[in-house]
Chain A
């Protein structure tokens, strides 16, 4: 089946630092999305990015579909960025197949 691998699994940053999260896919990229799950469990959609680069404030994402990977960049991290970041690729039913996530802790 389709595999979605995320790295690193855990990341601890000092406030103000930058970071890069990576997602690799075993199958073609389709319907790729990045989410942030906050400490209360709410999943927030960050980017819909099957290809190319998008930016939203301090966050940006790049997907290289031909090489089956996507990157999420967080610049000038803040404590409110803490939580789990998931990437997800499209399955055969329009559903999303999620990676195991990167748990980010930003320390003040």
Chain B
């Protein structure tokens, strides 16, 4: 596609429910990144993929968060048993390779946990 796309654009859920966020990177980009931006906070790095592999998951805030990428393309970020503090904008970015590359961001998914 022309740019990074994310879905849904907005998600309202009840505390305790699971949510799945989707990212479709720029075609041909092997590196994919997930970030989170909370109200009044900066951009926080969560996890990256090189191809389908996520070598380091230590940036994920808790074990309720997981992510996967299949076919070297689409990635999903899953949050289980959502909490109110999970409310944030979840941003996905992609770059051609993992290092020394411009990162292109999607429009984000705005998650609100009630």
Binding site for B on A (CB under 8 A): 30-31, 33, 35, 40-45, 48, 50, 86, 88, 90-91, 93-101
Contacts and interface: CB of A to CB of B under 8 A. Distances in A.
A29 to B, nearest CB: 12
B102 A94 contact: no
Interface of B: 31, 33, 35, 42-43, 45, 48, 50, 55-56, 59, 89, 91, 93, 95, 98-105, 107-108, 110
B48 A95 contact: yes
B67 to A, nearest CB: 13
A42 B92 CA distance: 11
12 contacts: A40-B107, A41-B110, A42-B107, A45-B102, A48-B101, A86-B43, A91-B45, A93-B56, A94-B48, A95-B48, A96-B43, A97-B45
B103 A45 contact: yes
A93 B93 CA distance: 14
B100 A93 contact: no
Contacts of B100: 30-31, 50, 90
A36 B91 CA distance: 14
Contact of B42 (A43, A93, A101): A101
A41 B48 contact: no
Given A31-B100, A50-B100, A94-B98, A41 B45 contact: no
B105 A43 contact: yes
B89 A94 contact: no
Given A41-B89, A41-B108, A43-B91, A96 B42 contact: no
A30 to B, nearest CB: 8
